[in-house]
């Protein structure tokens, strides 16, 4: 439809999550028409981030430092470790402001069918931290999916073997959640785990 | 929230139209977690497009060539010129497949208050084409806004002075448009311009 360089740019913009052909076209034309400076800044930021960002050697979250801001903070309870599947989960906790420990990011969950085993999730690193006595409690915050539960179960066993306290996020009705739209499994669990008021 | 390189990337992604803080964050993490190759491709495509894309010297649409694909085509009626405000308007016509002439892209509309005059819209170039007798008919397809109408009026006078046929897109109820949601101005115009069936 356009000239090759514009078509290439539209195609490349589609690698962004949630960007379809229409939005990619709109983005490309808007940048080239009105914001070439923004386009160049974005190109530079992408390149620098891809080259510089790696995983924290303690918690595996994304950072350009050897040890991330949270792991190097003196204000965090470093012996309390929340295990999550992905960096956005870290953000969700940080934004809630309720967790004062540190994290361990799996970047996925156990999935034998896809060939994802413990080492792919960095569980050798977590194992070393457990063995070295660096952890008092593991809070398992993997997703409430079959894979997330299986992964939590595996890590719980690791924690117990190292005689460390292991907990799992409570399950139930989300705050503000309307029962009408809740799935049956959550509702059943919430009913079975009901608390006296 | 994140490390500086990731924060910079999130900020840079926000220069894309329609991308708010949440989506920018999701895009940055997704690229760094799962698609660094896509991120590098996008960086390259942005850079090459900004460096290579300019305006067609005949119609002012975006292209990396001196003369765009449409202006250089031997299959188009080059003496029939559709005047539009922006490159996406060209795409809308091309996708409809109903127009066989070529285009002239203003990249805006007359706006004395913003200091946008005829030369900023390339009307000196259009004037030269009119004077050189290269155009038989001007189809004015600027937007149906006050500025678009004023711009169309100005170009119509240019065309008439050069004794060239000038037309304007018909106005009325859009196909598939529900009257209920139509603005009063369009409805009034459609009523006044009603045709016998
Ligand atoms: Zn860390
Ligand atoms: Zn052209």
In the prediction, which pLDDT does A165 show? 93
Instruction: Give the single-character DSSP code of A191.
Output: H
Is this complex's ipTM strictly greater than 0.90?
Answer: no
Which chain B residues are closer than 8 Å to A31 by Cβ? 15-16, 46, 49-50
Helices (H), chain A: 4-13, 21-34, 36-52, 69-72, 87-96, 123-131, 146-161, 184-192
Q: Kindly report, residue by residue over B107-134, the tens digit of the pLDDT.
A: 999 999 999 999 999 999 999 999 999 9
pLDDT in tens, A115-160: 999 999 999 999 999 999 999 999 998 888 899 999 999 999 999 9
- CATH 1.10.10.10 is right for the domain spanning A4-52: no
Ligand 2 center to B64 CA (angstroms): 11
CB within 8 Å: A49 and B39: yes
With a cut of 90, say whether residue B135 has pLDDT above it: yes
Q: What is the 3-state secondary structure (H, E, C) of A75-112?
A: CCEEEEEEEECCHHHHHHHHHHCCCCEEEEECCCCCEH
Task: Tell me which architecture the domain covering A77-168 has in CATH.
Answer: 3-Layer(aba) Sandwich (3.40)
Give the number of other CB atoms < 10 A from CB of residue B170. 8
Angle at A80 between CA A65 and CA A75, to 5 degrees: 60
Tell me the pLDDT tens digit for each residue of A164-174: 999 988 878 77
Question: In sequence order, what are the beta bridge partners of B83?
Answer: B104, B140
- For A175, phi then psi, to 5°, come to -65, 130
Domains A4-52 and A77-168 share a fold: no
Q: Which residue ranges make up each domain of chain A?
A: 4-52, 77-168
- Residues near B174 by Cβ (< 8 Å), separated by ≥ 6? B182
* Residue bearing tokens 């809740």: A182
Tokens of B38: 């896509």
Edge-to-edge order in the sheet of strand B165-168 = B101-105, B77-84, B137-140, B165-168
CA distance B192 to chain A (A): 35
| Segment holding B102, helix H or strand E | strand B101-105
- How much distance in Å is there from the Cα of B71 to the middle of ligand 2? 4
Confidence at residue A1, expressed as pLDDT on a 0 to 100 scale: 67
**Chain B window 33-72: which residues touch A at a Cβ cutoff of 8 Å?**
33, 35-36, 38-50, 52-53, 62-65, 68-69
Q: Minimal Cα–Cα distance from A58 to chain B, Å?
A: 15
DSSP 8-class letter at B116: B
Q: How far apart are the first and last CA of chain A?
A: 65
Contacts of B29 in chain A (CB under 8 A): 62, 86-88
Q: A42 vs B46: CB contact, 8 Å cut-off?
A: yes
Helix (H) or strand (E) holding A140: strand A137-140
- Cβ neighbours of B28 in A, within 8 Å: 49
């Amino acid at each position: 439809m356009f000239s090759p360089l514009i078509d290439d740019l539209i195609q490349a913009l589609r690698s962004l999550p949630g960007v379809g052909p229409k939005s990619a076209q709109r983005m490309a034309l808007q940048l080239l028409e009105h914001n070439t400076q923004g386009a160049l800044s974005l190109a530079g930021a992408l390149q620098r981030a891809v080259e510089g960002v790696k995983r924290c050697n303690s918690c595996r979250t994304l950072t350009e430092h050897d040890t991330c801001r949270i792991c190097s903070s003196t204000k965090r309870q470093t012996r309390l470790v929340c295990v999550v599947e992905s960096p956005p989960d870290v953000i969700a906790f940080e934004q809630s402001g309720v967790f004062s420990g540190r994290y361990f990011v799996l970047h996925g969950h156990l999935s034998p069918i896809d060939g994802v085993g413990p080492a792919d999730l960095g569980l050798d690193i977590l194992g070393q931290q457990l063995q070295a006595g660096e952890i008092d409690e593991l809070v398992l915050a993997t997703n409430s999916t079959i894979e997330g539960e299986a992964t939590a179960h595996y890590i719980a066993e690791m924690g117990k073997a190292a005689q460390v306290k292991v907990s799992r996020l409570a399950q139930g009705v989300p705050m503000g959640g309307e029962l009408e739209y809740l799935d049956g499994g959550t509702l059943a669990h919430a009913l079975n785990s009901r608390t006296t008021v």
